[in-house]
Amino acid sequence: MKPLTGPEVVKLLKKQGWELKRIRGSHYIFLKEGHDAVISVPVHGKRVLKLGVQHGILKDAGITWEEVEELLR
């Protein structure tokens, strides 16, 4: 499992159809039509996200690790 940065997660979410609704401080808030989840991604420059935060975001978005590897190519 490769650690991801905030900007990388933002890129992944946008490729999966998630829409950036607003930015509040250093947190990017995403919504997707047809999903109940509201996803908040902390973006602190190129700082790597903690694995628990990263796992929670990907789980809420319904993105698997195989998709992460494919989307980041």
In a domain, 40, yes or no: yes
The percent of residues above 90 in pLDDT, for the chain, comes to 84
In a domain, 1, yes or no: no
In a domain, 39, yes or no: yes
Per-residue pLDDT band for 2 (boundaries 50, 70, 90) equals confident
pLDDT (mean) for 53-62: 95
Give dist(CA 42, CA 33) in Å, integer: 21
Number of domains in the chain: 1
> Which CATH number does the domain housing residue 54 bear?
3.30.920.30
In a domain, 46, yes or no: yes
Q: Whole domain around residue 43: which residue ranges?
A: 6-71
Give dist(CA 33, CA 46) in Å, integer: 28
In a domain, 18, yes or no: yes
DSSP-based three-state secondary structure for 22: strand
pLDDT at 73 over 80: no
For 9-31, the pLDDT digits (tens) are 999 999 999 999 999 999 999 99
